[in-house]
Amino acid sequence: MRIFSLSNRFSNIRTRISDKFTLPERFKGTVVEKWAQYWRGLASDYTDVVVDVVKSARTKPRKALVYAGTGYGLYQCAKHNPDEEAFMHSLRGWSNQMSMVAKTLHNPVSEAYLRELEIAINENKLRTFSLGICTILWRDLYDKEDCTYPAICKYTQVDYTNFWKHIVDIGFWDYYWRLEWKMHNFDINYL
């Protein structure tokens, strides 16, 4: 019963607004009238969608809960999606941690990974690609400012079939996970 009162409220508000706001005679038949009709139609469409969503949420609460939970989860993932600045901050932190440890105690895997990242940064070949909920960090073949033919030609770029070979790290939920994994035991030398 409450749903119907909600839809009645929306229709009452819609009629009140349309009764109060009428265009003057000089705007009849012009672009302004078409523009007003467009926005009026758009508003009525969206109110119908809201009413239908509320009705379907009342009839199928589990489905509505799954949709709402999924939407909220995706929103939180997008909110905590790390960017290139977060990667650089994390990389600097790990480099500083590594420099505090004696060279003989460095884990060779962590040291090689940091060196590879620093070379890619110095050559200006590190790129980020944000997917909204996660960020892919990858190494390009050419410098960003390189204007030579091989750097510009679309046939010499990294293609989609080999793109996975160039992925350096994946950022998700405020972390770059491969960097964190490689630096887990950075101060333990197994040799």
Q: What span, in angstroms and rounded, lies between the C-alpha atoms of 120 and 141?
A: 10
Q: How confident is the model at residue 21, as a pLDDT?
A: 67
Alpha helices in the chain (DSSP H): 2-20, 31-59, 61-79, 84-99, 108-122, 149-152, 177-182
pLDDT tens, N- to C-terminus, the chain (191 residues): 455 566 677 677 767 766 666 666 776 777 877 888 888 888 888 888 888 888 888 898 898 889 889 999 999 999 999 988 998 999 899 889 888 888 888 888 888 899 999 998 888 888 888 888 999 998 888 777 777 777 777 777 777 788 888 888 899 998 888 888 888 887 776 65
What pLDDT sits at residue 135?
92
What's the pLDDT score for residue 80? 92
Strand partners, 126: 139
What is the structure's pLDDT at 183? Answer: 85
Are 126 and 117 in contact by the 8 Å Cβ rule? The answer is yes
Of 191, 187, 178, which is closest to residue 111 (Cα–Cα)? Answer: 187
* Token pair of 155 as six digits: 């046939």
Q: What is the pLDDT of residue 1?
A: 46
Q: Answer whether 172's CB lies under 8 Å from 180's CB.
A: no
Q: Which two tokens stand for residue 15?
A: 């009629």
Supply the pLDDT for residue 61.
87
Query: What pLDDT sits at residue 10?
Result: 65
